[in-house]
Amino acid sequence: MKDDIEFKSTEVNAVDLENTKEAARLKELGNAAFNENKMSEAIQYFTKAIVISNLPSRDLAILYSNRSAAHLGLYEQRKNEKRIFFGKETNDERYQSLLDAKQSRNLWPTWPKAHFRIGKSYSSLNEHEKAINSFERALAFAPSDRAIKDALDDSRTILQRQLRQEHLDPLENPTTMNDFYQQMSKRTGMSVEQARLVTQQILENHDSAEAHVLRGHQYFCGDTGVQQNYELAARWYTKAAQQGNAEGLYHLALVTDQGLGVSKDRRLAVDLLEQAALKSPNHSLHQNKPNPGVAEAEHALGMFYYDGVVVTKNVQTAAYWFRCGMDHGCSLSASNLGIMLMNGEGLEQDLEQAIQTVSHH
């Protein structure tokens, strides 16, 4: 886990010089432990520095901020080790992180990093409305800070999904290969068993873009004889995308948007979605079948523009992409477009057309 931990020098009175030097020494040890993913050790060093008396308020604010980051890092480690039970407790590392972040903010109210830390703590607690508020305050003090902007976009996306009761985005990567077979069955009309057999036949053609996409799914989900590996999944999606395959572009956009196996880059994800959306909606070999990835990319672009995440919010552009998605077989796009027609949002209100649109699929 990486985080930018800093400790800025501050002018101090001679009487506090020794204390400040000792705090700086402990801080450096804490930073080193943090960078080595030794979160418990980092917390101990930061705590020893914090209790030193007569430290300048800004130096103390940075120490609390660093310890806040370490608490979140420790939470993530324990979660990955499956040592965390579901639910929240007051001794939860996330609450400790939040307390430290607030203390940092109180000591240095105009420091953007303190507000950013509060936002990260609220985000980890799934309190995204509060997280957004803190990220917006941080951005007011540091308008060009990319990390703050990205964190704000993430929380806005999650909050909008929750408000739409889309806790799991139906258009995200399949979580298991069986999910993929179910999706394929629904999309093509074949049985799940037929979908499974067709998949094996495609995989035998090692050089085809379709085979690359399926191999990506296998590594993304994990499959019989295939261990889950997001980095390898991203590589296979990239191979398909480089061949101009819409489904490869779409799934590469998803892993890029989430930072799974590749560096997280939401702007690149939007660019990949646009490339996928510009592909023919009809399958190259079976013109009466949809080209996988096109309608899904169109719907995803609609969501980006509707939520105003990464791109500037534009409901008219969102409506355009939802209409494209609906025309190419995406029922979620039809539902969203129908709601916009019903509310007169980005489109002229038309209740009759709204009902027809919602029942389109």
Q: What is the pLDDT of residues 105-154, one digit of tens each?
A: 999 999 999 999 999 999 999 999 999 999 999 999 999 999 999 999 99
Q: Give whole-number Cα distances, 61 to 12, 57, 182, in Å.
A: 15, 6, 52
* Model confidence band, residue 86 (pLDDT cutoffs 50, 70, 90): very low
Asked if residue 171 has pLDDT above 50, the reply is yes
Residue 249 pLDDT exceeds 80: yes
Spatial distance between the Cα atoms of 131 and 97, rounded to a whole number of angstroms: 13
Residue range 72-83, pLDDT digits in tens:
999 999 887 655
pLDDT grade, residue 219 (50/70/90)? very high
Q: What is the pLDDT of residue 63?
A: 98
Q: Which residue has the higher pLDDT, 161 or 103?
A: 103
**What value does the mean pLDDT take over residues 209-228?**
89
Q: Tell me the CATH architecture of domain 168-279.
A: Alpha Horseshoe (1.25)
- Least confident window among 89-98, 124-133, 321-330: 89-98
User: Model confidence at 356, in pLDDT bands (50, 70, 90)?
Assistant: confident
pLDDT at 139: 96
Q: Report d(CA 85, CA 69) in Å as an integer.
A: 21
Q: How confident is the model at residue 173 (pLDDT cuts 50, 70, 90)?
A: low
Of 26, 64, 298, 285, residue with least CA distance to 171: 298
Domain segments of the chain as ranges: 14-163, 168-279, 281-361
pLDDT-based confidence at 226, cuts 50/70/90? confident
Which one is the CATH code of 14-163: 1.25.40.10, 3.40.50.11820, 1.20.1290.10, 3.30.1330.10?
Answer: 1.25.40.10
Better-predicted residue by pLDDT, 70 or 355 = 70
Highest mean pLDDT among 39-43, 203-207, 341-345: 39-43
Question: Which residue in 126, 191, 190 sits closest to 159, CA to CA?
Answer: 126
- Taking residues 274-292, report their average pLDDT: 86
Checking if the pLDDT of 2 tops 60, the result is no
pLDDT of residue 85: 45
Among the residue ranges 149-153, 169-173, 200-204, 336-340, the one predicted with the least confidence is 169-173
Residue 220 has pLDDT above 50, yes or no: yes
Q: In this predicted structure, what is the pLDDT of residue 116?
A: 98
Quick one: what percent of the chain has pLDDT higher than 70? Answer: 87
**How large is the average pLDDT for residues 92-99?**
94
> Looking at residue 14, what is its pLDDT?
44
The architecture that CATH gives domain 281-361 is: Alpha Horseshoe (1.25)
Where does the pLDDT of residue 277 fall: very low under 50, low under 70, confident under 90, or very high at 90 and above? very high
Report residue 53 as tokens: 């008396």
Query: How high is the pLDDT of residue 5?
Result: 56
Query: Which band of pLDDT confidence, cut at 50, 70 and 90, is reported for residue 11?
Result: very low
Reading the block at residue 197, the tokens are 């057999």
Amino acid occupying residue 49:
A
Q: How many residues does the chain have?
A: 361
Whole-number pLDDT of residue 87: 47
Q: What is the pLDDT of residues 16-30, one digit of tens each?
A: 789 999 999 999 999
> pLDDT confidence of 287, banded at 50, 70, 90?
low
